[in-house]
Amino acid sequence: MSEPLIRLDRLTQSFDGVTAVDALSMDIEKGEIFGFLGHNGAGKTTTIQMLTTLARPASGTATVAGYDINKDPLEVRRRIGYVPENVRLYDTLTAAENLVFFARLSGVDAPARRVRQVLELLDCTYLADKRVGGFSKGMRQRVGLAQAILHDPAVLFLDEPTSGLDPMGIKMLRDLVMRLNTEFGMTIFMNTHLISEIAKTCTSIAVLSHGKLVFHDRIDAVTARYGDDAALEELYLSLTPVGRLAEVA
Amino acid sequence: MSDAALIPARLTPTPVRTIAAKDIRDALRDRFILIVTAFLGLAALVALVTGAIALRSDVATYEAAKATLLALGKSADAIKAPEFYPLRLLRGAIEQIEIIGAAIAILIGYRSAASERGRQTLALMLTRPMRRWQFVAGKALAGIGLLAGGLALVLGGLTLVLHFMSGIGLGADDLLRIAVVWGVAVAYTACFFLVSFILSLHMKQPSHALLVAFAVWLTLVLIAPQIGDTLDPDNQVAGGVFKQLNIAKPDQVEIMKGFATFETVRGGIEQASVTKHFERFTFAVLGIKATYAGMPLGPILTEMRGNLIWIFLTALGLIAIALALPLNPDRLAKA
Ligand SMILES: Nc1ncnc2c1ncn2[C@@H]1O[C@H](COP(=O)(O)OP(=O)(O)OP(=O)(O)O)[C@@H](O)[C@H]1O
Ligand SMILES: [Mg+2]
Closest in A77, A87, A106 to B120, CB measured: A87
**Pairing relation of β-strands A59-64 and A33-38?**
unpaired
Q: Whose CA is nearest to atom 3 of ligand 1?
A: A15
Whether B128 shows a pLDDT value over 70: the answer reads yes
| Pocket around ligand 1 at a 6 A CB cut-off | A 15, 20, 38, 40-46; B 330
Which of B85, B83, B89, B105 is closest to B36 using CA atoms? B105
Whether B2 shows a pLDDT value over 60: the answer reads no
Q: Is there a contact between B290 and B238 (Cβ–Cβ < 8 Å)?
A: no
Q: How far is CA A40 from CA A25, A209, A244, in A?
A: 21, 9, 15
Beta-carbon neighbour count of residue A243 at 10 Å?
16
Q: What is the mean pLDDT of chain B?
A: 83
pLDDT tens digits, A175-187 = 999 999 999 999 9
- Angle formed at CA A104 by CA A99 and CA A105, multiple of 5 degrees: 100
Mutate which: B124, B134, B135, B328, vs A, most A CBs within 10 A: B124
* pLDDT score at A96: 96
> ipTM score of the complex?
0.87
Q: Choose between B327 and B282: higher pLDDT.
A: B282
Whether A223 shows a pLDDT value over 90: the answer reads no
Phi, psi of B305 (to 5 degrees): -60, -30
* pLDDT score at B5: 44
Q: Is there a contact between A180 and A149 (Cβ–Cβ < 8 Å)?
A: yes
Which pLDDT band holds residue A80 (cuts at 50, 70, 90)?
A: very high
pLDDT above 70: percentage of residues in chain A: 94
In a domain, B330, yes or no: no
* pLDDT score at A180: 94
Contact between B119 and A90 using a beta-carbon 8 Å cutoff? yes
Mean pLDDT within A112-125: 93
CB environment B86-118: b (16+ within 10 A), e (fewer): bbbbbbbbbbbbbbbbbbbbbbbbbbbbbbbbe
**Distance (Å) from CA A206 to ligand 2 centroid:** 15
In a domain, B294, yes or no: yes
Beta-carbon neighbour count of residue B316 at 10 Å?
14
Least confident of B67-71, B123-127, B238-242, B300-304: B238-242
Mean pLDDT within B114-124: 87
Rg of chain B's alpha carbons, rounded to an integer? 24
Q: What is the pTM of this model?
A: 0.84
Amino acid, res. A118: V
Helix or strand holding residue A168 (H, E): helix A167-184
In a domain, B169, yes or no: yes
In a domain, B250, yes or no: yes
Q: What is the mean pLDDT of chain A?
A: 89
Q: Does B306 touch chain A (CB under 8 A)?
A: no
Which pLDDT band holds residue B6 (cuts at 50, 70, 90)?
A: very low
Whether B80 shows a pLDDT value over 60: the answer reads yes
Question: How far apart are the C-alpha atoms of B286 and B311, rounded to whole Å?
Answer: 17
Whether B232 shows a pLDDT value over 70: the answer reads no
Nearest chain A residue to B21 by CA distance is A101
Q: How far is CA B115 from CA A125, A151, B158, B191, B307, in A?
A: 25, 24, 32, 20, 34
Mean pLDDT within A48-52: 95
Helix or strand holding residue A19 (H, E): strand A18-28
* pLDDT score at B31: 84
Which of B87, B110, B104, B111 is closest to B43 using CA atoms? B104
Q: Closest ligand 1 atom to the C-alpha of A44?
A: 21
In a domain, B334, yes or no: no
Question: How far apart are the C-alpha atoms of B133 and A76, rounded to whole Å?
Answer: 18
Contact between B127 and A92 using a beta-carbon 8 Å cutoff? no
Structural domain boundaries, residue B167: 3-324
Residues on chain A touching B124 (C-beta within 8 angstroms): 82, 84, 87, 89, 102, 147
Whether B233 shows a pLDDT value over 60: the answer reads no
Whether A212 shows a pLDDT value over 60: the answer reads yes
Mean pLDDT within A138-146: 92
Q: Write the DSSP string, B13-45.
A: PPHHHHHHHHHHHHHHT-HHHHHHHHHHHHHHH
* pLDDT score at A248: 42
Q: Is A109 left (phi over 0), alpha (psi -120 to 50) or beta?
A: beta
Torsion, CA A63, CA A104, CA B146, CA B28, rounded to 10: -110
Q: Is there a contact between A131 and A91 (Cβ–Cβ < 8 Å)?
A: yes
Q: Whose CA is nearest to atom 14 of ligand 1?
A: A43
Q: Choose between B144 and B335: higher pLDDT.
A: B144
Whether B218 shows a pLDDT value over 70: the answer reads yes
Number of domains in chain B: 1
Q: Choose between B163 and B196: higher pLDDT.
A: B196
In a domain, B265, yes or no: yes
Closest in A89, A107, A109 to B129, CB measured: A107
**Distance (Å) from CA B20 to ligand 1 centroid:** 32
Which pLDDT band holds residue B3 (cuts at 50, 70, 90)?
A: very low
* pLDDT score at B238: 56
In a domain, B332, yes or no: no
Q: Does B219 touch chain A (CB under 8 A)?
A: no
Contact between A77 and B127 using a beta-carbon 8 Å cutoff? yes
Mean pLDDT within A89-99: 94
Whether B7 shows a pLDDT value over 50: the answer reads no
The preferred substitution site among A16, A39, A44 for testing ligand 1, maximizing ligand atoms within 8 Å of CB, is: A44
In a domain, B57, yes or no: yes
Q: Whose CA is nearest to atom 28 of ligand 1?
A: A41
Which pLDDT band holds residue B55 (cuts at 50, 70, 90)?
A: confident
